[in-house]
Homo-oligomer: A and B are copies of this chain.
């Protein structure tokens, strides 16, 4: 499948011309987020959900959680009625549920700097978000290497150009060429400047979360930020059964600023949680309840999401495995618990273990993504780009996943059962043995009847062969190159841009570079 660079670029340019032409014919209005018209799948019975609650409550009371180096959180929990002994917190599940249900919003809007791209998180809505956290990137030409700030900006741009993603994400890859204590400035700036979609903020230290909020205030205005969610932070638990200072600091900053928290335990079943689906679900519920309640104790009504990220494990080698059925079942279970609590849910994505965007990666990603959609998850981190268990962000995988998001979005639309859609007139017109292509009904619905092939090749074998027997990976390679060529920065008021640069400049100058 490898081609000379020159020929490759020619393809890219031809592709660009096609695309521009297609746009002139009238491109589809991109929806800022998905509103599902199909019901979520309910895996667990009411009785089973009650049993989860029962065991969760026993864990909360009989085992408890560890809150390390964070007296502020301990005080809040003690004040709410928890039993605190040293760093061990024990409490009643009912108490946590009462706190959460008492003030956590069922759904909330995360505002984008372009108001047309604000997303509603929760309820029947689903928001697709790029992958988060990979220290490496991979593409077909240069292979795998450490991610740089250039890669980071590229993925922000690709997400901005995407017609399937709804969000700019957070650490779309880790820009390891920048000092650890300063890279958050550049990441937040990239999301704000190169995109106009909503984004995730820094969580690697309380002050970095605060920097994120301050930069958001420059863009949105302080008053607006105090009253509205414009940034969300990904708060991992320290599983099993704990939270550490770094994450709690970030949680407190976002909550006290009325910004959003995705409280998300990250567990590998058999390592950080039991080797059973229901064990993973129950532990996730325990950890999330504590984290969510904390956000409400910090500031009642602050937006918070019930998060879950779970992989299974190869019991032979201890390696984490993504994309398998047990993870799908966990997703289904936790999303039910989130609905039961009355809060939005985060889970799933296009997860895989494969190192490359081969068949393995695509089976695994599709397994996860289909389960995500059927589960009714609201916030889908890792929707695009994820490779090798999250260690690598793939340029081609990013485009391939994007393409697949179109498909699950169509699935979420469900079935039109209007009289028109039954096409009775076409049956009368066409009759037995006829052909529907020329029927009036088909002509009326020609443009929107079925989603198109996207990155899939649906040509005849002969045509495909003539065109060089290309695989999806090779087409995806062209697609991201083309997308970056077509990218144009969205408008930003110069004063705001200056304000951001000024803030970053001062803050960066105020501290030495550090690698932690």
Chain A interface (Cβ < 8 Å from any Cβ of B): 38, 41, 43-44, 48, 51, 55, 58-59, 62-66, 88, 144, 238, 240-242, 269-279, 281-283, 312-321, 323-326, 328-329, 333, 353-367, 370-371, 374, 388, 391-392, 400, 404, 407-411, 413-417, 421-424, 426-428, 430-437, 439, 441-442, 445-447, 449-453, 455-461, 464-465, 469, 471-473, 476
Contact B464 A355, beta carbon cutoff 8 Å: yes
Q: Which residues of B contact A269 (CB under 8 A)?
A: 449-450
Report the 9 A-B pairs with minimum CB-CB distance, sorted nearest first.
Answer: A366-B366, A274-B423, A275-B449, A325-B410, A241-B432, A66-B432, A362-B362, A358-B471, A325-B411
In the assembled complex, 10 residue pairs joining A and B whose CB atoms fall closer than 8 Å, in A order, are A63-B432, A240-B433, A275-B436, A278-B421, A315-B446, A319-B460, A321-B458, A325-B410, A325-B411, A356-B469
Contact A416 B277, beta carbon cutoff 8 Å: yes
Q: Which residues of B contact A58 (CB under 8 A)?
A: 424
Q: CA A168 – CA B214 in complex, angstroms?
A: 65
Task: Report which of B51, B409, B456, B469 forms a contact with A353, defined as CB distance below 8 A.
Answer: B456
Q: CA A15 – CA B499 in complex, angstroms?
A: 62
Task: Report which of B51, B323, B409, B434 forms a contact with A417, defined as CB distance below 8 A.
Answer: B51
Contact B433 A359, beta carbon cutoff 8 Å: no
Q: CA A278 – CA B441 in complex, angstroms?
A: 13
Task: Report which of B423, B451, B455 forms a contact with A360, defined as CB distance below 8 A.
Answer: B455
For the complex with contacts A315-B449, A317-B458, 6 further pairs of A-B residues with Cβ separation under 8 Å are A88-B432, A316-B452, A325-B413, A356-B471, A367-B404, A367-B407
Find the residue from A275, A366, A424, A451 having the highest chain B CB count within 10 A. A275
A59 — nearest CB in chain B belongs to which residue?
Answer: B427
Q: Which residues of B contact A316 (CB under 8 A)?
A: 452
Contact A445 B326, beta carbon cutoff 8 Å: no
Contact B355 A358, beta carbon cutoff 8 Å: no
Contact A333 B415, beta carbon cutoff 8 Å: yes
Q: CA A210 – CA B319 in complex, angstroms?
A: 53
Find the residue from A65, A314, A365, A428 having the highest chain B CB count within 10 A. A314
Q: CA A374 – CA B409 in complex, angstroms?
A: 17
Find the residue from A58, A320, A437 having the highest chain B CB count within 10 A. A437
A56 — nearest CB in chain B belongs to which residue?
Answer: B422
Given known pairs A321-B450, A324-B407, A471-B360, the reply for A63 and B433 (CB within 8 Å) is: no
Contact B242 A276, beta carbon cutoff 8 Å: no
Q: Which residues of B contact A318 (CB under 8 A)?
A: 437
Q: Which residues of B contact A452 (CB under 8 A)?
A: 314-316, 321
Task: Report which of B63, B328, B435, B441 forms a contact with A411, defined as CB distance below 8 A.
Answer: B328
Q: Which residues of B contact A329 (CB under 8 A)?
A: 411, 414-415
Contact A271 B358, beta carbon cutoff 8 Å: no
Contact B433 A275, beta carbon cutoff 8 Å: no
Q: Which residues of B contact A460 (CB under 8 A)?
A: 319
Q: Which residues of B contact A428 (CB under 8 A)?
A: 62-63
Shortest Cβ gap from A28 to chain B (Å): 14
Contact A279 B433, beta carbon cutoff 8 Å: no
Contact A415 B277, beta carbon cutoff 8 Å: yes
Task: Report which of B274, B361, B392, B439 forms a contact with A274, defined as CB distance below 8 A.
Answer: B439
Given known pairs A315-B452, A431-B241, A473-B359, the reply for A270 and B416 (CB within 8 Å) is: no
Contact B44 A427, beta carbon cutoff 8 Å: no
Q: Which residues of B contact A276 (CB under 8 A)?
A: 416, 421-423, 441, 445, 449
Shortest Cβ gap from A238 to chain B (Å): 7
Q: CA A312 – CA B451 in complex, angstroms?
A: 9
Q: Which residues of B contact A271 (CB under 8 A)?
A: 435-437
Given known pairs A329-B414, A458-B320, the reply for A404 and B436 (CB within 8 Å) is: no
Q: CA A392 – CA B450 in complex, angstroms?
A: 24
